Structure 1
Amino acid sequence: MSNAPSASDALVISSNDALHRFEARKNGELAGYVEYNVLSEALLFTHTEVLPAFEGQGVGSALAKHVLGAARAQGKQVIPVCQFIAGYIRKHREYVELVRPDVQRAFKI
């Protein structure tokens, strides 16, 4: 018997432009989100939240990877006011170039 997650268990991440956040849903239920503000040349990430029922399941990391990929795809810089996003960038150096050097210094990246 396989313990692999079924397709219905997959995390679905989408942008909720009205609420200025990316949302992760599992089985249709909100699992977590990253709030953002759109600036002319950057996405400013202000807060990441994983709902208690979904903690420890990789939701926060999946969200961070997704939002940083979205910024890259849009050609935007990143301002990681949210300490979770800043910490993710510190651990995943492939995203460092999304953060201007002066912003890197400000957030110790």
Structure 2
Amino acid sequence: MNITFEQTGSGGRYLGKADGIVDPAIMTFSRASPALIIIDHTEVPDAMRGTGAGQALALYAVEEARKGGWKIIPLCPFFHAQMDRHPEWRDVLNG
């Protein structure tokens, strides 16, 4: 899966695209401050379910937070569950 980033005025989204699948998996976030993002939504199209697309987006967000030196507030239920499953990601968890 190829993951790209799109930025908007106050946030952005990560897009996960797979060969032969039109609709990407999406994880959206808003920026609360230069050092804090809020991940608020993850959406995986039916054609990508069970492929690990959501997990790949979550890992990408964690790696980007580490590189950028910011923390994450996990409002998205999927991302929150991933944080619970991966204690090694807690270094980027806000609070």
Scaled by the length of structure 1, the TM-score of the pair is 0.77
Structure 1: 4+ residue segments shifted above 3 A: none
What is the root-mean-square deviation in Å for CA atoms of aligned residues? 1.5
CA distance in 1, matches of 2:90, 2:7: 25
Aligned pairs for 1:38-53 within 5 A: 38-40=31-33, 41-53=35-47
What percentage of aligned pairs have identical amino acids? 26
Determine which structure has more spread, i.e. the larger CA radius of gyration.
Answer: 1
Aligned residues: 91
Unaligned runs of at least 5 residues, structure 1: 1-10, 102-109
Shift of 1:63: 0.6
Normalized per residue, which structure has more helix?
1
Shift of 1:71: 1.0
The structure whose RCO (Cα within 8 Å, separation 6+) is larger is 2
Shift of 1:68: 1.0
* Partner deviation per Cα, 1:26-73 (whole Å, 9 max, x = no partner): 127333010000121211100000011111111000110001111111
SS in 1 for 2:23: strand
SS in 1 for 2:82: helix
Scaled by the length of structure 2, the TM-score of the pair is 0.87
CA distance in 1, matches of 2:57, 2:77: 14
